[in-house]
Each structure stands twice: as structure tokens, then as C-alpha cells.
Amino acid sequence: MIYQNILSKEFALMLKQSKGHIINISSTRASMSESRTEAYSASKGGISSLTHALAITLSPDVKVNSISPGWINTNEEYLPTKIDMAQHPSGRVGIPNDIVDTVKFLLKNRGFITGSDFVIDGGMTKKMIYV
């Protein structure tokens, strides 16, 4: 996370001149956890906080947002089961292009969206699952 902050500051002048965007990748783990994920969850929470802090520091010229993916299947050899898909309100597990689409949307931002975190998880963080 410290490298993200240093990199953002190093590019700040160029980003301000170009009215650029910073899009950080966080995770739904910033707001929900499983056992023994303390370090990972804390690091993702830090990215989310860094996002809104940088948005204020670099405003109004640079837009800073983050994306918090949920389950994104990046393994083409793994086919999610019907149970995997049914637990997502969207009816499916995410794919990398779901994140790409969000990045494209943010890059088209005309300047009003900044300091926000976009949860891309097929609705999983909104659904109660009881075992």
C-alpha cells in the first residue's frame, strides 16, 4: 500500500495536467472476512481508505476511485458449480471482464465520481447466507 501512495504522488503532476484517473483495486475483504485473513483484510481496508484520502488531496483535477471485486473466476479451467452460481444474486460468479467494464466506466467519468468504492460482487455482500 505504501508503494501505491508513493506512485500516486510521483504521478500527481502529470495526472493533474491530464485530468487523469487513479483506480485502485481493493476487495470485498475490506468489509467482510473469513478466519485467518486479518493481514489481507486490513491491507484491503487500507486501499479503500487511501482511495478516499487521495481523492481529497488530488481534487479537483484527479479522480480517485477503487474497485472491490468479490469472487472473480480467473481460472479458465475451473467451472463454478450450480451452488456457486446460485449463491450470487446475479446468478453467476464474476469474470475478469466484469472488472474491465467497471474500469472503462470510471475512465469515462466526466469528473463527478471521485472518492468512491465500487463493489463488483454479483450482490454477494448484500445477501445473508445461513449454514
Beta strands in 1-131 (DSSP E): 21-25, 63-69, 117-120
Q: Is 40 marked active-site?
A: yes
Q: Pick the catalytic residue from 3, 40, 78, 130.
A: 40
Handedness of CA 7, 12, 13, 16 (dihedral sign): positive
Give me 67's grid cell: 474497485
- Helix then strand then coil, % of the chain, to nearest 5: 45, 15, 40
Give me 19's grid cell: 485530468
Task: Report the catalytic residues.
Answer: 40
